Structure 1
Amino acid sequence: HARTESALKSALARVRDLERSLNSKEAQLATSLSEKRSLENELSEVKFQLANNNSIAKGVKEQLQDEMLQRCDLANRAQTLQEQLDFQKSLHEKDMEEAKMQHEIRLREIESDNQQEYEGKLAELLQQLRGEQYEQTKQYREKLEGNFHAKLESAQLAAARSNDFANAAKEEVAETRMRVTTLLSDLHQCRNQVKP
C-alpha cells in the first residue's frame, strides 16, 4: 500500500510537471501564434507596400515612356517647324530681293521719266526764250528803222529847207547809218548767241 501511494504521489507530481510543461508550451505556442500573426500582418503590409511600389514603378515607367515619346514628338515637331521657318525665311528673302529689284527698276523708270520731262521742259523753255528774243529783236529793229526813217526824213526836210545844213545832215545820216549798222551787227551777234 505504501508503495502504491508513493507511486501515486510520484505520478501526481509527474502530472503536475507535465501540466506545467503543457502550460508553458501553450504559452509558448500562444506567443508563437501571436508572433506568427504579427509576422503575417507585417508580411501582408510588406506585400501591400511592394505591390504599391510595383504599381508606382510601373506608373513611373509608363510616364517616363510617355515623356520620352512626347520628347521625340516635340523634337520632330521642332525640326519640322525649323524646316518650315527656314523655308519661309528663304521665301521672304526671295520676295525681298525681288521687291528690291522691282523698286530699283521703278526708281530708274522714274529717273528716266524725270530726265525726259526735264529735257522737254528745258527745250520748251529754250523755245520760249528764242521766241521772246526774236520778238524783242524784231521790235527793237522796227524801232531803230522807224527812228532812222524819221531822222532821215527830218534830215531831208532840213536839207531841202536849207542848203547850209546839207553837209551836217549828211554827216548825221552817215553816223546814224553807222550806228544802225553797229546795232544790227550787235543784234545779229546776240541772236547767234541765243541759238543752241
Structure 2
Amino acid sequence: MTAALILASASPRRRELLDQIGIRYRVCPVDIDETPRPDEAPLAYVQRVAAEKSAAAVLRFGTDIPVLAADTSVVLDGEIMGKPQDQAHALAMLRRLSGTTHQVYTAVSLRGLRHGEAVSISAVTFRPLAEAELLAYWASGEPRDKAGAYAIQGQGGVFVAALNGSFSGVVGLPIFETAQLLAAQGIKVF
C-alpha cells in the first residue's frame, strides 16, 4: 500500500489521528528551529512553524506526494508555553494553567498541488490543581515532551474542566481542518 502523503512529524499522536481517519502516510520528520521570533504573536508563530516544517520536508524528501506538517502551542495571556525544559519549568507552567482558561493553537500546513493552511484555536479550562497532583503528574513522565506540560488525551485530561473547540486540535492535529485540506488536494478520507 503506497502512502498518500508524507507526515513531517515524529509525533505518535499525529500518527494516531491520521490512522483514525484512514490516511496512509510515511513518517519523515524534519528538524527546524522552533524558537519564537521577538514579539511574534502566537497565531503567526504556529502558522510559520507549520509552514517551515512542510517546506523543509519538501526540500528534503521531494514533492512526489503531498507533505503534511503541523505545530501546536499552548497559549496563556498571549504567551506561548512551549515544552518544559525540566521539572521546575513543567510545574511552573502547570501552576499557571491551574484554575484558568488558556488557548491551544494548532496550525496545519499541507504542500502538494498547492500550499494549503488551516488553524484550529481551542479554549481549555483547567480546574484548580493541588501541588501533590502536579508532582504525581510529573512523576508519571507524561508532561516531559508536551506543549504546556500536559496531554489532554492522557492523564492530563483529568485537569480539564471544559473544552471549547477541537479535541483533536488540542492533541496536535485538528481532524476537521486536516480533512478539508486533504480533500482540496484530492486525498480522500476513509
- What TM-score range do you get, normalising by the shorter chain? under 0.3
TM-score by length of 1: 0.18
Q: Which has the higher contact order (CA 8 A, sep 6+)?
A: 2
Structure number with the higher strand fraction is: 2
Q: If each structure's helix is expressed as a fraction of its own residues, which one has the higher value?
A: 1
TM-score (ref. length: structure 2): 0.18
